[in-house]
Amino acid sequence: MKKLLILGTLALAGCATVPGATVPPSTSTGILSPLVTSGVITEDTRTKAKQVQAATAQYCQYIPTIGTLISLFSAGVGGPVAAIAAGICNTVTTAPLADGGRRLAVMNGVVIKGRFVK
């Protein structure tokens, strides 16, 4: 229960955005946004995606695909790895049932694809 409360808090912290505002890239703060510019996927993008995958696997036993993470980064999702992972975990564990009983998890307009692991 304590883990779920922490995840919820982190997810909400990642939601505080100002429309039209952009965050400059910075490796010193752990924020790499935007990670994808002009269709170019950088090594920082791959590294951050793998870090998010590891964090979500630990937090909620879910591993999003690299393609999903790159789409999220392109859609403006940024911030610390823990906040991104918490947002993904919150989305995939609370997604409403849709499409004939399939779980459709959507975050920032991106369908979250991946798999749950044991």
User: Does residue 76 fall inside a structural domain?
Assistant: yes
User: Does residue 52 fall inside a structural domain?
Assistant: yes
User: Does residue 23 fall inside a structural domain?
Assistant: no
User: Does residue 12 fall inside a structural domain?
Assistant: no
User: Does residue 68 fall inside a structural domain?
Assistant: yes
User: Does residue 26 fall inside a structural domain?
Assistant: no
Strand, helix or coil for residue 46: helix
Number of domains composing the chain = 1
Q: How far apart are CA 107 and CA 91, in angstroms?
A: 7
pLDDT in tens, 16-66: 333 333 333 433 334 444 455 555 677 888 899 999 999 999 999 999 999
Q: What is the pTM of this model?
A: 0.64
User: Does residue 96 fall inside a structural domain?
Assistant: yes
User: Does residue 28 fall inside a structural domain?
Assistant: no
**What is the residue range of 85's domain?**
2-6+36-116
